[in-house]
Amino acid sequence: MESTSFVKMRLMFEDGKEPYFEDITSLFHDLELLYDFSLLLYADAYDTYRFSQYFWFRGGKSIKAEHKLRALRIVKESPLTVELLAAMLSPEAIWAFVQIIQKISSWPLERQKLKLEVEGVRLENYIRSCRGREAKIDLDDRLLEREAELTLDRLLKRFEKNPIKLREMDLTSEDDGNTSERNDSEHRE
């Protein structure tokens, strides 16, 4: 059985004692949009996708089920913690996701730590896959090439307007030989 490579993302937010439900749901929706944006921008499977107003609609992106972002755990305590699982379809897409999060001016993160974690995940994936493909990317060039600058600007503004701010983000890689088992059972560390 072939093993699938995943990236586990743990995000911890500063959210106040009783955040508005609307702010939480908006945050979750925007995280999904950001992941989809990164995937559409870099994954070979979506290289013909053209960014338009349909990007903002639930069914406007046609992301394959096995590529969708999965929720492992959501804890609404202080702090709000979200654990997500993304298939390592494209290390460049994961790197773009992190780079874009770092561009959100209202989210002061430990950028060097995140960069090292992403590099570690990319290196592990590169060693596993032995594709020989250079994983170095330039986000600005890709945005121009795919005509996606306005979409990114709008995404950034959505995050900056939300009062819930990211405080910490951790990335780890993991293998899973049976993704359907993961979807049916609770995953705990």
- 132 has a pLDDT exceeding 70: no
Q: Which of 178, 139, 132 is nearest to 6 (CA)?
A: 178
pLDDT at 121: 66
Quote the Cα angle for 113-115-120, to 5°: 95
Question: Could you tell me if residue 189 is inside a domain?
Answer: no
For position 122, what pLDDT does the model report? 64
In a domain, 128, yes or no: yes
pLDDT for the residue numbered 59: 83
Domain extent for 170: 4-184
Structural domains in the chain (count):
1
Bridge partner list, 173: 7
What is the strand order of the sheet 4-14 is part of?
A: 70-76, 80-87, 4-14, 165-176
- Are 10 and 173 contacting, i.e. CB atoms less than 8 angstroms apart? no
CB atoms within 10 A of CB 27: 23
Is 168 among the domain residues? yes
* pLDDT of amino acid 152: 95
**28-87 pLDDT tens trace:** 999 999 999 999 999 999 999 999 999 999 888 889 999 999 999 999 887 899 999 998
